[in-house]
Structures are given as structure tokens and as C-alpha cells.
């Protein structure tokens, strides 16, 4: 390419990214439900006419990486019957979706009668029906108990909504007006993306834009292959476990064998457990999305996250396993768990070759959905405890980040402020702070977990606990220690304190009941005795660790005046005078 072509390609690439970001901004500002407007649990992107992802908003990674699968499902069903003014909707995990609460809206973009792009928005909706409000049914044994299943289907024709389809979907949920409003927000966000893409095509012409898209995808593929070639060739195996599936008590194994060749990586999940009864099974879309997230993380942040980067990655997921279950298996929890464990298994494998690139374990999500009638307006509500997010693991040269959510979301979910929660739901926040001695110790420590405590005051509230990480802690790497476990405690006037399991069936509460959530801290990276004692002292002053942990985990003796260097030297046997200019 000459200089002019390179500049034009860069301009178009940045414009595509800006369009995806503008779609996300529109969706955030036009939605009604807190899970959109506050938590921003969505992703937006642009695909080409073949369904290949060319640009995505840096929203929720597990949603963004899956955007092309929905478009490909639409193309598989509707090729030859996609017209200007159509809008498609899909959420079926066995037809291009992640799990039922994540609804994809797909809008084709034409230029001079030719299909060129699709705009895509995928978003998590507060309730999608099923036998449990909030649609996280811990007792589900088949997908039909989790909510309404939407195969790829037209929601609009000739720019007119098909009311019968919209009503059929929304009337099968507990808050049809909220769902309808949020679907309109997705349609509107896609329309903004559609208009911006048409402007792009009008300005630069179809030929130049299509050539640039081909080059963008090829460039991402070439960059991925170049990074693969730098990786030590060979096969590396990692294993991670979920606590359980809510039915069996034994852990559920995810096994990943990652094989690096000259210009290809194969991720083989053979050896993972068979599919299970509960809702931790991962649809193939979620499994592939999680694998892409993990593998590209190990390679380089400079690689564009588009379908070109996915081409050199081969994924083997045997049918009938927890990472590729037979159709009708329940899968609702999978975008959190086992997606996070898929990522962790790949990380553990790659850490055997390039530990300096891999973080220690992230905290797992474990919290409730809560629902009932708000006494202030007599309306039904469904909420989620986004304020109990766990924390990230340390990595070389960097401590873990707090309050990150599970690694499948990697900070994409925003935690709403407590005041907003108290306006939206009938609850009061009693505690919300980082918890001492929950961070995994290491030369680069994990971040502390969170204590989050709320009191319900509405009539007959109910909760459903869903998540993981109450038995298996975030892993440490390179001599780093594990992070803490999740814990959940319910206080009722009738029974006092009670510890809840990570997967608890719907539980009716009374006004005044108190739920306390302790989210897990991230794992540590590297030998804790190599951590700079000054940093240990700062962690103590900030309330992250106690004096007892400073001594036990880091070998640093603290007094009321600061670090006792002589005693610390006895524990560690290091010449601090020269190393730290004491």
C-alpha cells in the first residue's frame, strides 16, 4: 500500500471504532433499566456483510467478542431474505447467543442496494422470563426453565416494528414495558451506527471502504500470527475448577491444552468434564468468546479485537461437555462461570511458558438478584448486586485492581453508587468497603475483596444467590498466594445469622432482613517476601492488610512508628540498607 492508502485505512479504522463507541453512548443514555444505564452491561459493534466482526466497543468482553456469532446465525437463516429496513433479534445460546438474558439486536446496513455491514448491540436484560425473576434459576435443569428463547427472527420490516413479535417476547417477561423500552434503546443505538456507516460509505465510496475492511481484518490476522511466532512452541495444559453446579457437590473441571505452532494456536478442551445438570454449562458461543479473550490477552494488547485476530485460533470443544453441552442444557450462569474458568484454564496453561504476561486469579462473582414490589410506587422490580464485585489478581510489575468483577467482564460492568441503588430499589446500604486481609499476598499482591451489606425494607422481598468461588479461591502465580473466598451471610429476625451457598434457590425475606456479601480478593503474583517493605507498610496504612498479615505473609515487622528494619531483616535475610537505601 502507498502512503495515501495507509492513511485512509487508519482513518476508516478509527471511524469504525468511534461509531461503535457512539452506539454504546447512545444505548447507555437512552435505556431505562439500571442494568443498562448504571451497570452498562452491554457491548456494541460493527460486522461486515459476512458476519465478521470489524470493530467493537470496549464494553463487556464476553459480549463483545460474541457479536459476530449472532450475525452469522442471522445470515445462516435469512441469506437471500435480508432487506433494507429489517431489524433482527436473537438470544438463543444454541443459535448465536451467549445466554438468554443477553439479547442481540442486529441491523443490516445497505449502500446503493448492496448489503455492506451489520450494526450489533448485545445487552443483558433484567428479566427474560422463566421460573425465577431475574432469570438466574439455580434449580434449572433445562434451558426452558431459564426464560424465553428467541431464535434469529425479524423484529422489524421496512423500518416498522412487528408488534406481534415484540409483544410475544415482552409479554413473557415480568416487566414488559421495561424490556420493550430497552429493546427500543438497542434499536436506536443500531440506527445511529447505521446512519454513521452510511455517511462513511457516502464519503469514501463502497470500493475503498470494502478494501479497507479486508485490510483491517488481514492486518489483525498478520499481527496475531506474528505474536504467535514469538511464543515458545509447544503444548501447555491448564486446569481450573468451578465449585459445583448447584446440584452435585464435586468441583467441575475445565481443562485446556494450548498448542502453539508457527502461525496457529489450538485450544483443546478435551478432558473437561461432561456437561452437568446445573446452569454453569457454557454454550459454544460463550466458550469460543472466552477462549479468544484469554488467548489474545497472552499475545498482545496491540492486536485489534476483530475477527481477523480470531482466524489463527482453532478451538476444539467436544460435544456433550461442560464447554459445549447438548442443546437444551441450562447455561445462564456461563457468561460469568464457567467463562471465567475457561479463561483461567488458558491463563494457567500459558503461564507455564510466559508467566510474566499472565495475571493471578481474579475474584469470582457471587451475589444475589433481588425482586419484589416497591412500596414507594407499587411497581415490580428486579435488581442485581453489582456493588459486591470481586477484585483482580496481581501480575508482574502491577498490583491487582480492586472491584473488577469476574475476568470474563474485566471491569466492563460498572458498579452503581449506593445512593442510586437506594433510589431505584427498596433497600438501604449499611456497609460498603474494602475488606482487610482478603488480598492474595505476592511481590505484586491481588486487590482486596469487598464487604457489601444491605437491608431490605419492601414487603416480601426475595433473593436468589448465584455465583461461584466459595470453595475455590483465585489462584496465585509464581509463588504468590491465593486470594480469599466469597462468603454470604443472611440475618433474619427469626433465625439470626445464616451462611448461604453460592447457588441458592429463591428465598423469601421479611422487611428488615440484612444480607452481607464478602467478595473475594485477587490472587498474588510472585514471592511475597520479595515485596518492597515500604509497599507492605502502605498497604497496612490503607487498611488492606493487618500487622499480623504483614509479618506472616510478607515477613515485614511493623510497629506504631513504621517498619522495624532490623527485625524484618531477620525474617527475610536481605540487606535492606543497600537494596532500599535505608
Phi first, then psi, for residue 402 (nearest 5°) are -80, 155
Q: At what angle do helices 339-351 and 284-299 cross, to 10 degrees?
A: 30
Is the pLDDT at 60 greater than 90? The verdict is no
Pick the range with the lowest mean pLDDT from 6-10, 184-188, 265-269. Answer: 6-10
Backbone angles phi, psi at 405, to 5 degrees: 70, 180
The one-character DSSP state at 143 is G
**What are the tens digits of pLDDT across the range 158-168?**
999 999 999 99
Please state, for a pLDDT cut of 70, what percent of the chain lies above it: 98
Place of cell 489450538: 266
Edge to edge, what strands does the sheet with 234-242 contain? 234-242, 252-260, 265-268, 313-316
Instruction: Show the DSSP H helices in 471-581 as ranges.
Output: 533-541, 547-554, 565-572, 576-579
Range name among 37-41, 108-112, 496-500, 510-514 with the lowest pLDDT average = 37-41
- 237, burial (CB in 10 Å: exposed 0-12, middle 13-18, buried 19+): middle
User: Residue 85, Cβ neighbours under 10 Å: how many?
Assistant: 12
Confidence at residue 581, expressed as pLDDT on a 0 to 100 scale = 57
481 secondary structure, DSSP code = P
Task: Identify which of 452, 445, 451 has the alpha carbon closest to the alpha carbon of residue 429.
Answer: 452
Mean pLDDT of 547-560: 95
Among 166-170, 380-384, 409-413, 525-529, which stretch is predicted with the lowest mean pLDDT? 409-413
pLDDT value, residue 201? 97
Residue 55 pairs in a beta bridge with 46
The pLDDT of residue 580 is 59
Among the listed ranges 36-50, 130-144, 163-177, 322-336, which one has the minimum average pLDDT value? 36-50
How far lies 108's CA from each of 79, 112, 114, 201, 410, in Å? 12, 13, 10, 14, 29
pLDDT single digits (tens) 115-141: 999 999 999 999 999 999 999 999 999
577 pLDDT more than 60 = no
572, 531 in Cβ contact below 8 A?
no
Give the per-residue pLDDT at 166: 98
Amino acid at each position: 500500500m502507498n502512503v495515501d492508502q495507509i492513511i485512509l485505512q487508519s482513518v476508516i479504522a478509527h471511524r469504525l471504532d468511534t461509531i461503535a463507541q457512539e452506539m454504546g453512548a447512545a444505548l447507555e443514555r437512552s435505556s431505562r433499566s439500571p442494568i443498562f444505564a448504571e451497570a452498562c452491561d452491554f457491548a456494541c459493534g460493527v460486522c461486515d456483510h459476512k458476519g465478521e466482526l470489524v470493530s467493537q466497543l470496549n464494553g463487556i468482553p464476553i459480549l463483545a467478542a460474541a457479536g459476530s456469532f449472532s450475525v452469522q446465525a442471522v445470515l445462516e437463516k435469512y441469506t437471500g431474505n435480508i432487506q433494507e429496513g429489517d431489524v433482527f433479534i436473537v438470544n438463543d445460546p444454541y443459535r448465536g447467543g451467549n445466554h438468554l438474558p443477553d439479547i442481540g439486536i442486529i441491523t443490516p446496513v445497505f449502500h446503493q442496494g448492496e448489503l455492506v455491514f451489520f450494526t450489533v448491540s448485545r445487552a443483558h436484560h433484567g428479566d427474560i422470563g422463566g421460573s425465577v425473576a431475574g432469570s438466574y434459576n439455580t434449580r434449572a435443569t433445562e434451558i426452558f426453565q431459564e426464560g424465553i428463547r428467541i431464535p434469529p427472527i425479524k423484529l422489524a420490516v421496512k423500518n416498522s416494528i412487528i408488534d406481534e413479535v415484540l409483544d410475544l417476547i415482552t409479554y413473557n417477561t415480568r416487566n414488559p414495558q421495561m424490556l420493550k423500552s430497552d429493546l427500543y434503546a438497542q434499536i436506536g443505538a443500531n440506527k445511529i451506527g447505521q446512519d454513521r456507516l452510511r455517511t462513511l460509505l457516502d464519503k469514501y465510496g463502497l470500493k475503498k471502504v470494502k478494501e479497507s475492511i479486508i485490510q483491517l481484518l488481514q492486518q489483525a490476522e498478520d499481527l496475531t500470527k506474528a505474536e504467535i511466532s514469538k511464543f515458545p512452541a509447544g503444548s501447555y495444559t491448564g486446569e481450573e475448577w468451578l465449585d459445583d453446579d448447584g446440584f452435585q457437590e464435586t468441583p467441575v473441571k475445565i481443562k485446556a491444552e494450548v498448542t502453539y505452532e508457527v502461525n496457529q494456536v489450538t485450544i483443546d478442551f478435551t478432558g473437561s468434564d461432561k456437561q452437568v445438570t446445573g446452569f454453569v454449562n457454557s454454550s459454544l458461543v460463550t466458550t469460543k468468546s472466552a477462549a479468544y479473550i484469554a488467548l489474545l490477552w497472552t499475545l498482545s494488547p496491540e492486536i485489534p479485537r476483530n475477527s481477523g485476530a480470531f482466524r489463527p485460533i482453532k478451538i476444539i470443544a467436544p460435544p456433550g461437555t461442560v464447554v459445549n453441552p447438548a442443546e437444551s442444557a441450562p447455561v445462564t450462569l456461563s457468561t460469568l462461570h464457567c467463562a471465567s474458568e475457561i479463561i483461567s484454564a488458558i491463563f494457567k496453561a500459558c503461564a507455564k511458558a510466559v508467566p510474566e504476561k499472565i495475571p493471578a486469579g481474579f475474584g469470582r462473582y457471587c451475589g444475589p438478584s433481588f425482586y419484589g414490589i416497591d412500596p414507594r410506587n407499587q411497581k415490580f422490580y428486579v435488581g442485581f448486586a453489582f456493588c459486591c464485585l470481586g477484585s483482580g489478581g496481581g501480575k508482574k510489575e502491577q498490583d491487582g485492581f480492586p472491584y473488577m468483577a469476574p475476568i470474563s467482564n474485566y471491569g466492563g460492568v460498572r458498579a452503581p453508587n449506593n445512593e442510586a441503588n437506594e433510589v431505584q430499589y427498596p433497600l438501604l446500604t449499611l456497609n460498603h468497603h474494602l475488606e482487610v486481609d482478603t488480598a492474595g499476598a505476592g511481590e505484586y499482591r491481588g486487590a482486596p475483596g469487598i464487604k457489601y451489606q444491605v437491608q431490605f425494607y419492601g414487603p416480601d422481598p426475595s433473593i436468589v444467590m448465584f455465583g461461584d468461588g466459595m470453595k475455590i479461591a483465585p489462584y496465585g502465580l509464581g509463588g504468590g498466594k491465593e486470594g480469599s473466598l466469597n462468603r454470604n451471610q443472611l440475618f433474619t429476625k427469626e433465625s439470626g445469622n445464616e451462611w448461604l451457598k453460592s447457588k441458592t434457590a429463591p428465598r423469601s425475606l421479611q422487611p428488615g432482613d440484612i444480607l452481607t456479601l464478602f467478595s473475594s480478593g485477587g490472587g498474588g503474583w510472585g514471592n511475597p517476601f520479595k515485596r518492597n517493605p515500604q509497599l507492605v507498610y502502605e498497604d497496612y496504612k490503607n487498611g488492606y492488610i493487618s500487622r499480623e498479615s504483614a509479618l506472616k505473609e510478607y515477613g515485614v515487622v511493623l510497629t506504631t512508628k513504621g517498619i522495624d528494619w532490623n527485625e524484618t531483616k531477620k525474617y527475610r535475610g536481605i540487606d535492606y540498607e543497600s537494596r532500599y537505601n535505608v
